[in-house]
Structure 1
Amino acid sequence: MSRLTLHEQPRPVPAFGFTDAGGQRLSLDAFKGRTVLLNLWATWCAPCRKEMPSLDRLQAVMGGPDFQVLALSIDRGGLEPVRAFFGELGLEHLAIFLDPPNASTQALNVVGIPTTLLIDGEGREVGRATGPAEWDSPEMKALIRQGMGRSAAGLPSTSEEKGS
C-alpha cells in the first residue's frame, strides 16, 4: 500500500476541467476553501477497485463543508460504467466526477493510477500518493491532518469524527 508523501512547501495545482454526474462543468476552483483529497482512478484499474471502498469510508467519516474526497474517474466510457462500478462496490458517500478526456492526468503530471493529491483550501497541492492506499486508516487520517495543519484544515479531530 502507498503512503501519502507530504511536500515541504505547497505547490500550485494547474487548472483543468471535469464534470459531475449531472454533466455540469467544474474545476478545482469550485472547492476553494475546502480541503480536497483528489483521487484519479478508473473502473478498469484493479488497485483502484481495491482502494475505492476506503475512500468511500473516509468521505463518510470526514466529509463535510471543510473536507471532500473527490474521486475523479478518467474512464472514457462516461457516466454509465462509473455508476455501475459505484453500485457494484456499494459506494454510497462519494460523488461521481468524470474526466473522460484525461485532462487531469496531463495537467497534474500523473504517471499511473491511482494517484491521489491532498489539496489545501487555497487550491495548492500539499501531498501526493501514487498507488492504492487504505485512506480511512488512522495513520492516513493523521497524515491528512498533518498535511493540512490542524488550524488551517478545520477538520474534526479523531474524537469529533462523524460516527466515532
Structure 2
Amino acid sequence: MSQQRISAARGIAVVLFALAISMTAPVMAAGKVPKSVGPQGFLIWESPRTLPELAFEDEDGRPLTLADFKGKAILLNIWATWCLPCREEMPTLDSLQAQLGGEQFEVVALSVDHAGISVVEKFYQETSIQHLRQYIDPSTLATSTLGIEGVPTTLLIDHDGREIGRLVGAAEWDSPAMVDLMTRTIDEAWNWPRVTPTESLSLQR
C-alpha cells in the first residue's frame, strides 16, 4: 500500500473514531454506563434506568403514558416521517413486531411529527406497515423528555417501565442478531430487582 493510501486510511479511521465518540458522549455524560454493546451499536445498560412521565396518544386520540404498557417490555422508537433513516428502518420494526409482538412485548413507534397522526397514517399506508400501531406525541416533547438529541432513537424498556438499552440511529431491527438480542435482554430483565414505590420517576442524568 502506498504512503498516500496509508495516510488516507488513517484519516478515515480518525474520522470514524471521532464520530463514534460524538454519538456515545451524550449517553455517557448522562451517567449511563453500558454493560455491553450489542449488534449495530445497541447499548445495554449496566442497570435499569428510571424514566420520566411521557404523554402521547394512539391513533384514536386516546391519551397514554408509559405506565399503560407496564407488564410488557416495549421497544420505544422515536421517529418522524420527515426523517429518511426513520422511514428506511420502519419496515424492519414492523417485521420485528410481527415476530416478537404479543402480550409480553410491543414495538411502540412514537412519531414526533408536528403535522399529527394523519401523516403517520399516510406513511403506514404507503409503505404497507401492517403490524405496528400508530402513536403520536402531539406536544413533540418526547425528545427533550427522554434526553434524545436526534431521531431515530430507540429505547428498550422493561416490564417495569425502566430503560435497559438504547440505540441512536437507524438499524435493521429484524436481523437475526437483533432479534436474538431483544429476546435475551428482555428475558434477563425479569431477573432484575423490581420497581419500588419510592423509586424516583425523574430521568437520571
Give TM-score, length-normalised by structure 2: 0.72
Q: Once the two structures are aligned, what percentage of the paired residues are identical?
A: 46
Whether the 8 Å CA contact 1:70–1:94 is kept in 2: the answer is yes
- In structure 1, C-alpha distance between the alignment counterparts of 2:41 and 2:87, rounded to whole Å: 17
SS at match of 1:149: helix
- Alignment of 1:122 onto 2:156: no
Aligned residues of 2:79 and 2:152 also touching (Cα < 8 A): yes
Counterpart selection for 1:54 from 83, 92, 117: 92
1:37 aligns with 2:75: yes
Superposition pairs for residues 8-27 of structure 1, below 5 Å?
8-27=46-65
State the partner residue of 2:119.
81
Unaligned ranges ≥5, structure 2? 1-38, 192-205
Q: Which of these residues, 103, 106, 110, is aligned with residue 144 of structure 2?
A: 106
Whether contact under 8 Å (1:115, 1:129) holds in the other structure is yes
Based on CA coordinates, which of the two structures has the bigger radius of gyration? Answer: 2
Give the distance between the partners of 2:150 and 2:189, measured in 1 at CA. 32
Q: Which has the higher contact order (CA 8 A, sep 6+)?
A: 1
Q: Distance in 2 between matches of 1:16 and 1:151?
A: 21
| Paired amino acid for 1:71 | A
Unpaired runs of 5+ in structure 1? Answer: 154-164
Give the Cα–Cα distance (whole angstroms) in 2 for the partners of residues 108 and 122 of structure 1: 16
How far apart, CA to CA, are the structure 1 residues paired with 2:47 and 2:188? 16
Over 3 Å off, 4+ runs: none
SS at match of 1:47: helix
Q: Distance in 2 between matches of 1:77 and 1:142?
A: 35
136-145 or 109-118, which deviates more = 136-145
**What TM-score comes out, normalization by structure 1 length?**
0.89
- Please tell me the residue identity of whatever aligns with 1:87: Q
Question: In the alignment, residue 56 of structure 1 is paired with which amino acid?
Answer: D
SS at match of 2:41: coil
Write out per-residue CA displacement over residues 107-131 of structure 1, whole angstroms, 9 at most, x where no aligned residue.
Answer: 1000010000000000000000000
Q: State the alpha-carbon separation in 2 of the partners of residues 118 and 131 from structure 1.
A: 14
Find the counterpart in structure 2 of residue 161 from structure 1: none
Please state which structure has a larger fraction of its residues in strand.
1
1:44-87 deviation line (CA, Å, top 9, x unaligned): 00000110000000001110000000000000101111100001
Distance 1:111 1:2, change over 3 A: farther
Q: Judging by fraction of residues, say which structure has more helix.
A: 2
Deviation at residue 148 of structure 1 after TM alignment: 2.1
